[in-house]
């Protein structure tokens, strides 16, 4: 059986917060506002994987109203969700993500971010890819007010 999953996340960018992408802190003037560490990339990936397996979504598993997730490391949220997907017998074929971020440049960080995500999921680095686009200076992304992320995954399971 083959399933695809799509995840999306949007966070406001504010001063005084770290910019977290895929579990890596990227030097930047602003970072994601959020209840957890705000890692929009990991949140989108978590939703893609849960959605592909039809197991729920990140808001259900880790409600922002729950004080346990305040400042939480999003890698831990992803691992908890991914363990549920693995327990249902699924394997990750690949994960491909798009970040919409005006600044800073993502390319110098790409290899490190992809490796971090692959390591967190316990898969080979060749199964994870992340690319970035700017907002062309307009809209909430282009003016540096927000970050948007899309994640698409393919998971497979042997059927008896
Ligand atoms: Mg989020």
Q: Which domains does the chain have, with CATH numbers?
A: 2-156 (3.30.1330.50)
Strand 2-15 vs strand 30-32: parallel, antiparallel, or unpaired?
Answer: antiparallel
Ligand 1 center–CA 94 separation, angstroms:
21
The pLDDT of residue 80 is 95
- For residue 64, the model assigns a pLDDT of 82
Instruction: Say what the pLDDT of residue 66 is.
Output: 86
How far is 128 from 51, CA to CA, in rounded Å? 17
Cα 10 to ligand 1 centre (Å): 6
Distance 64 CA to ligand 1 centre (A): 10
The pair of three-digit structure tokens given for residue 27, joined into one six-digit string: 């030097």
Ion ligand 1: residues, CB within 5 A, are 9, 43
Residue 44 CA, ligand 1 centroid: distance in Å:
7
Cα(47) to centroid of ligand 1, in Å?
A: 10
- Ligand 1 center from residue 158 Cα (angstroms): 31
What pTM was computed for the model?
0.97
Strand partners, 132: 99
Report the distance separating Cα 148 and Cα 87, nearest Å. 30
Print pLDDT tens along the chain (160 aa): 999 999 999 999 999 999 999 999 999 999 999 988 999 999 999 999 999 999 999 999 998 888 888 888 999 999 999 999 999 999 999 999 999 999 999 999 999 999 999 999 999 999 999 999 999 999 999 999 999 999 999 999 998 7
If you measure from the C-alpha of residue 98 to the centroid of ligand 1, how many angstroms do you get, rounded to a whole number? 15
Find the length of the chain: 160
Find all residues with CB under 8 Å of 61, minimum gap 6, and list them.
46, 50, 77, 80, 81
Quick one: 68 exposed, middle or buried, by C-beta within 10 A (0-12, 13-18, 19+)?
exposed
């Amino acid at each position: 059986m083959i399933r695809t999953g799509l995840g999306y996340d949007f966070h406001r960018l504010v001063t005084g917060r770290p910019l977290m992408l895929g579990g890596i802190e990227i030097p930047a003037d602003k970072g994601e506002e959020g209840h957890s560490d705000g890692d929009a990339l990991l949140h989108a990936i978590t939703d893609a994987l849960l959605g592909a397996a039809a197991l729920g979504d990140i808001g259900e598993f880790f409600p922002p109203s729950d004080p346990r997730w305040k400042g939480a490391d999003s890698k831990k949220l992803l691992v908890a969700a991914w363990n549920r997907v693995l327990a249902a017998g699924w394997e990750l074929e690949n994960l491909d993500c798009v970040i919409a971020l005006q600044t800073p440049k993502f390319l110098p960080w790409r290899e490190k971010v992809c490796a971090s995500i692959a390591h967190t999921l316990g898969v080979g680095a060749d199964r994870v890819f992340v690319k970035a686009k700017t907002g062309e200076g307009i809209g909430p992304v282009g003016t540096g007010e927000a970050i948007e992320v899309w994640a698409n995954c393919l998971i497979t399971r042997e059927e008896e």
